[in-house]
Structures are given as C-alpha cells and as structure tokens.
Structure 1
C-alpha cells in the first residue's frame, strides 16, 4: 500500500544545554525511527512509558519539531510547508488526546469547541455550524441535543466521543490517537474502540494508535511497531507480531499482558532492572542491559532491522539463533 504519512530516520532530542545554557546531556526521545501509515490503515505504536511513543505522535503531526529525519504527507515534506500550505496540513492531521477530562475547556459549550476547527479553516459559516455540529455528534453516537451542554455534564466516555467529533470536524486524512481509552472503564473502552474502528472503515482514515495496552492494539490495528528507548525493536503485521514475536523485548511485553485464553499457557519473562536513562543509553542494542538473551556482541553495534517474515522486521543480532526461536524461553524464567 502507498504511504499517506511516512517518517524516515526520524530523531528527536530534548535539552542538552543545562542550567544557564551550560553543560547537560541531551535526552534522546527518538533515534532514526522510520514508520509509515497507509490510507485506511491502523498502525499500533507500543512500548513502556518513556519509550518515545507520544513524542513520535507529536513529531508526525508537526507539533514538535524533529531534530533529524523527515516526515512526509502524500510525499510532501511537512517541515517545508509555510502559510496556507501549513494550515492545510493541520486540517489533514488531527489528534485525539489521552485525557478526555482535561482536553475540553470546562467554560465553553460543546458546540463551540467542536466548531472551532470549522471556523478556523473556513469550512462552514456561522449559520451552518449548528447543522454541522449535529451531524458530527450523530457520527460519534451522541444526541444533537447535547450540543449546548458543558463538558462537566458528560461522562468520560462521552467526553472522548466529543474529542473525536472535534478531531473529525475538519475532515482529516490522518488521526493520531494517543492512549485514547486508557482513562476509561473497560466497558466504555470497548465502545470507544468500536467507534474508532467504525470511523476508520467508513471514512478511510489512516490512524496511528498509541498504547501500552497490547490486547487493545491487537483488536484494532493492522500493523504494530514496538519502541524501546526511542528505537524500533520490531515491526510487522499484528498477527505475526502477536502470534510469533521475535524480539526479546516484544516477547517480554506480551508475556506481561493479560492472557484471555485459558487453554494457552504463557510463561512470564521478567525484565532485568529499570530502563536506562535516555540521556545515557547503552552502547549497541539499547535493550541489552535488560535482555535475558544478551551476549557480549550486543554491545558492539546498533542492530539493523532485518527481515523476519513477510512485512516483519526485527532489530536483534540473534534473531536467527535457534536459542531465540519463538517457542523458547530464557533460563530461569517462568
């Protein structure tokens, strides 16, 4: 499939000047990450807290400038766009926030907040706004009569639906959903996920779905990208990554996820220690200090993403080692 949004060797670092501009080491949030999302495709971005997931989403949207690499929308480098071209870009790329409670202004009616984008981009006159808002509320499963209410009058799930309606108001092609259901009850999560899946199918949206909840990602996404300390460890079709994960980090993440199949036993793989500081990452493979399969050679060079199957790539020098076959476990792990 042809990519709608494409990031190439994307890097982002913060700081590095220290107090009063002196000293201090830069914090590397992303390091040479390449990722693409085709029109109508949902790609899951997973990893522990601090792995760079939210930074990736913000850089793709142009909300945070990249330190290196490029982001293209339909082949156009977004950093090169200025003026009206940049305004058009913002309309095509939208964000659904994690927290439905703080993402809406409590002092403004819902109708006004949904209408902001329509007015800013000249997509509707003030006379047309009530009808457009009613249509958007219906699209996300809310009655049009709710348009004149304030955010405190809604539940968390309803607020997230309003946030989705606000993002859809300008007719985007690409949607970044940053942990959009993590603040919701489980039953409400399922409803919002079903809504996102339905909207993607009906509107042909490309979606980057950021989450630490692996079962949620599996239910919604076509492909999965696994980040650790700002680097891609594994990427591929969701079925391949979840059924036969090849990277030790992916396997550890999946072993910690809830197992809903009582007939399928899963051994827990415990990670060693805490994640290293992004200001002082390990040499070679950044995961090696916590990896049960690490060998001395893992410290020598950053592993390239090598092919492990159709559309499936893994950054591990031992990926073809029989000891790391998908059904094996490290010694001492249960």
Structure 2
C-alpha cells in the first residue's frame, strides 16, 4: 500500500443540548477516533445506526467541525489552512450519499449536475465540458445521451451511478461512500458495488465505505473499523477481523450477517437491551451494558485499543480470555 493520504487523529465531535435534549447537555457523537487511509485503499466503517459512522465521514471531509483532534490531508492540517488552500483540497475530497433520490436535483438534467464540479473548480474549459460529462457517464456505465435526462427518468441504480459520476468529476483522491447501496434493490446492489471496486482500482481512490452490511464490507474493503456509540471497538484487516473477531460486539454483528457458506455461519449472538443514549453513555466500556461477557472491571474505565496477534488488528476489550 502507498503512503498515507488522509488521517483523522483523535477525532471527537460533541453536540450541545437543544430540541429533544435538555438545554446544556452535551452529546458525544464521536470520541477519540483515529482512522487513516492510503492511496488506493478502502476502509469499511461499520456499526449500528447511531454509532457515529456518518459523522466521521463528514468530519474527514471537513463538512463538520471537530470538537477535538485533527485531520491531515497529504500532510496538511485542514484546520490551519487558509481558505484558498482549503478550497483546492475540497476538489480532491468527494462524497456519495445513501439516497440517490434525494441527492440529485429533480428539476435539472443529470448532465448539468455532473458538470457542476467542472464549472465550480474550473477543471475543464467551458467548450470541453460536454465531452467530459459524456466520459464520466460512460465511466459509470451510462450512455452519453443520458446527460439530457432528469433524475426521475432513471432507476435507483442508475441514479446512484449519476451521483458517482458527479463525485468523480473533480478527479478526487478521497471518496466517502455513505451507505451507497442500502437504498437500492438487492438486484442492483452488486452492480454498484462492482462499479465502486473497479473505480477504486483504476483511479487509485482512497475510499471510506460506510455500511452496516458486513458482507458488502468483506467484498469491497481492505480494512474495517467497528464502531459502537462513537468509539472504536475493533479494527484491522478485513480478512482477519471478519475471520477471527475478538470483540463481543463484532461477533454479534457477524452472527447476524447472512452467509452463503454453511461453514461460515456462526452461532447467533443476541445482544440484550437497547443501545444506551449518547447523552448518557455507560461508564468504562460503553458496550458493557449489552455485553454477554461484561465483568465489574468493565465499568471502571474505557478500554484502550490494544494489538492482537495479526499486524494492525486492535481491540478495545479487557477480556483477553475471550479472544
């Protein structure tokens, strides 16, 4: 793998009370999370709803301010860059959203929306933009004449292809794909996954792939980071973490994931209770209130991420005896 392209170090993000929460109360959405990606590498970010996955994606793109930590892109700290340099970096970072229906403007042609990035960043001269749009649509498996259509004339899978073409228009180095296939029919999910894998390979994209679907992550990613209540429970190479998970939470997620291979099926781990509120997380290990292996010591302090046997495989759990 090549050199590190982007690294979030000790990322934290809190929100203050308002609306449904009592005034003045702080909600810790992400707590001391570090994630790095090399050029051409795909990292999967998995966890239940509310675990902080999408928040981390937005933090790493600079779409949301950090409460703590920093983001380094090509060695530059995003927080200290002036607006000109920050604008230049934005071109190199793009996002594909979960819902292709709401991420595109229904009143505009898809060609004009793919062209936006070319125009805003001045990447291609005006007279050449139509040809570049046609190239981008072809790159994602669509036809040049599709540029004249509006989003309602496409299927869900085709709309997501348009959204991917729009993200690729600025020639990004880093792509955040936030549940990009979860809103699609099962029959087209595999096609979009194959497209993302091909684009990553051909273009050398670093990709943060956010998902709750472990089989998808297994297929597409090199490494995986498992989140629970805004904290990392386990991380490492996909082949190692999904083959021999050490953390009880990772085991529970895997046991609930469908498998086509009988030898890969695991005994179902049923988690007790509901996830605690991020406004009032448990002391110590935040997973302990649902963990089948929790002991009294788990309440004392948050467990550090510690290495296991395989290189790069780290687990936040004091119960080494269940690994």
TM-score by length of 2: 0.97
Per-residue deviation, 1:129? 1.0
Q: Distance in 2 between matches of 1:295 and 1:241?
A: 23
Aligned to 1:6: 7
Deviates more, 1:22-31 or 1:306-315: 22-31
**Structure-1 residue corresponding to 2:119:** 119
Equivalenced residues, count = 320
Q: Which residue of 1 aligns with 2:156?
A: 156
1:264 is displaced (CA, Å) by 4.0
For the pair 1:180 / 2:187, whether they are aligned, the reply is: no
Distance 2:198 2:265 in 1: 33
Where in structure 1 are there 5+ consecutive unaligned residues?
326-334
Contact 1:115 1:169 in 2 (8 A): yes
- Find out whether 1:35 has 2:35 as its counterpart: yes
Contact 2:254–2:266 under 8 Å retained in 1: no
Q: Report the equivalent of 1:203.
A: 203
2:257 maps to 257
Q: Which moved more, 1:256-265 or 1:64-73?
A: 256-265
User: Partner residue of 2:288?
Assistant: 288
SS, match of residue 50 in structure 2: coil
Could you tell me which residue of structure 2 aligns to residue 272 of structure 1? 272
Q: 1:44 to 1:264 in 2, by over 3 A?
A: closer
8 Å CA contact retained: 1:259, 1:266: no
Note the alpha carbon deviations across 1:233-255, whole angstroms, 9 max, x for none.
00000000100000000000000
Q: Measure, in 2, the Cα distance between the counterparts of 1:29 and 1:279.
A: 9
- Give the 4+ runs in structure 1 shifted more than 6 A: none
Q: What is the alpha-carbon distance in structure 2 between the residues aligned to residue 164 and residue 76 of structure 1?
A: 26
Q: Is the 8 A contact 1:46 1:53 kept in 2?
A: yes
Q: Conserved in 2, the CA contact under 8 Å of 1:303 and 1:316?
A: yes
Residues 57-87 of structure 1, C-alpha deviation per residue, up to 9 Å, x if partnerless? 0000000101000001011111222222111
Gaps of 5+ in 2: none
Q: 1:314: Cα distance to partner?
A: 0.2
1:22 shift after superposition = 8.2
Equivalence for 1:328: none
TM-score if structure 1 supplies the norm length? 0.94
Instruction: Give the structure 2 partner of residue 55 of structure 1.
Output: 55
C-alpha separation between the residues in 2 aligned to 1:128 and 1:122? 11
Q: Are the counterparts in 1 of residues 305 and 316 from structure 2 also a CA contact under 8 Å?
A: yes
